[in-house]
Amino acid sequence: MNRYAVFGQPIAHSLSPRIHAAFGAQFGIAIDYRAIEAGRETFAATLEAFARDGGRGANVTLPLKEDAVVLCDALSDRARRCGSVNTLLREGERWAGDSTDGVGLLRDLARHGIDARGLRVLLLGAGGAARAAAFAFLDAGARELVVTNRTAARAQALAHVLGPPARTCAWDALRHQAAFDLVVNATSAGHAGDAFDWPLAAGATPAACYDLSYGRAARPFLAAARAAHARAMHDGLGMLVEQAAESFERWHGVRPETTPVHEQVRAMLDARG
Ligand code: ATR
């Protein structure tokens, strides 16, 4: 049987094996998809062993998305552009890399009734996750994309690559900004569990807030968004399902139905508390 896996660290609680099993069930395909623990030092060797054992495709998550770029012999345009790979496909003796995060984010936003076209978007963060989101927003026709990061130079470098209508704003200067249509948290700050320090002025209520993380990691930002009276708040669980559907289609040539899987993984996450 062809084998599939998600690589990352930590990976034990990944929902991806369940998501791919649910997709496979829609087509009567038994999917051998596992979560494989690999850190930055062990990833290359672990991936090689996986390929030898019949690995045909893989997802890659924290902290390996940029390392995966280097291990690929070919890259899709979107993976090259955002410097990040979350999907690997075995083609003969080589790995081809793709990035399905951006399209996954846009599909999940659409599910929530949010079309980024014409919106004024604030993006918090300038790491790998933020890069994929930033390109997706420009592709979707955002009117303005303001990139802010704790380390300002990283935000400036990203805005430079993106070009207009992307620009940067210092984190401390965000309180002078008018209200945004959409505020997206792409920082990994929530993983530490600390309270999120809301950076916008009290009157600048955002229409919608979205955290690329889910579960506990998304709670500090979403709690701060609620306190700021944001009109809609969403975590990134739906993006996880949508990027997985895109990966599944690349591997199996068929597009799974995501609606029932969103409900399943939400129930699984809620059961974890
Ligand atoms: P990812 O792949 O999740 O994007 P990353 O590339 O390590 O991971 O990027 C993490 C992002 O979260 C960065 O924008 C980082 O800011 P710095 O560039 O200043 O490091 C941001 N980040 C991490 N912890 C943070 C915190 N406590 N407060 C604000 N931003 C934080």
Distance (angstroms) between ligand 1 centre and the Cα of 36 equals 24
pLDDT at position 169 is 98
Q: Ligand 1 pocket, 129 CB below 6 A?
A: yes
Structure tokens at 86: 């979350």
Express each pLDDT in 12-49 by its tens digit: 999 999 999 999 999 999 999 999 999 999 999 999 99
Residue nearest to atom 11 of ligand 1 (CA): 187
CA distance to 82, 162, 177, per residue, from 156 (Å): 15, 10, 18
All domains of the chain, ordered by start, with CATH? 3-99+237-272 (3.40.50.10860), 115-231 (3.40.50.720)
Q: Let me know: does 234 contact 210? Beta carbons within 8 Å.
A: yes
Q: In b/e form, how buried is each residue of 169-195, taking b as 16+ CB within 10 angstroms?
A: bebeebeebeebbbbbbbbbbbeeeee
Q: Ligand 1 pocket, 195 CB below 6 A?
A: no
Q: Residue 139: pLDDT above 90?
A: yes
Catalytic residue among 20, 34, 56, 65: 65
pLDDT at position 273 is 79
Residue nearest to atom 7 of ligand 1 (CA): 127
**65 noted as active-site residue:** yes
Q: Ligand 1 pocket, 156 CB below 6 A?
A: no
Q: Let me know: does 83 contact 131? Beta carbons within 8 Å.
A: yes
pLDDT at position 32 is 97
Express each pLDDT in 55-78 by its tens digit: 999 999 989 999 999 999 999 999
Burial category of 144 from C-beta neighbours within 10 Å (exposed 0-12, middle 13-18, buried 19 and up): middle
Q: Tell me whether residue 101 is annotated as binding.
A: yes
Q: Residue 102: pLDDT above 80?
A: yes
Q: Tell me whether residue 253 is annotated as binding.
A: no
Q: Let me know: does 179 contact 206? Beta carbons within 8 Å.
A: yes
pLDDT at position 226 is 97
Distance (angstroms) between ligand 1 centre and the Cα of 91 equals 33
Distance (angstroms) between ligand 1 centre and the Cα of 190 equals 10
Q: Ligand 1 pocket, 188 CB below 6 A?
A: yes
How many CA atoms within 13 Å lie on the side-chain side of 252? 25
Q: Tell me whether residue 14 is annotated as binding.
A: yes
Radius of gyration of the chain (CA): 18
Q: Ligand 1 pocket, 125 CB below 6 A?
A: yes
Q: Ligand 1 pocket, 149 CB below 6 A?
A: yes
CA distance to 84, 146, 179, 188, 263, per residue, from 155 (Å): 16, 9, 20, 15, 35
Nearest atom within ligand 1 for CA of residue 154: 18
* Cα distance between residue 221 and residue 236, in whole Å: 12
* Cα distance between residue 20 and residue 204, in whole Å: 40
Band of residue 177 on the pLDDT scale cut at 50, 70, 90: very high
* Cα distance between residue 191 and residue 189, in whole Å: 5
Band of residue 210 on the pLDDT scale cut at 50, 70, 90: very high
Express each pLDDT in 220-273 by its tens digit: 999 999 999 999 999 999 999 999 999 999 999 999 999 999 999 999 999 987
Q: Residue 1: pLDDT above 90?
A: no
pLDDT at position 39 is 98
Distance (angstroms) between ligand 1 centre and the Cα of 61 equals 15
Mean of the per-residue pLDDT values of the chain = 96
pLDDT at position 43 is 98
Nearest atom within ligand 1 for CA of residue 192: 27
* Cα distance between residue 251 and residue 158, in whole Å: 30
- Closest by Cα among 256, 112, 255, 236 to 184: 236
Percent of the chain with pLDDT over 90: 94
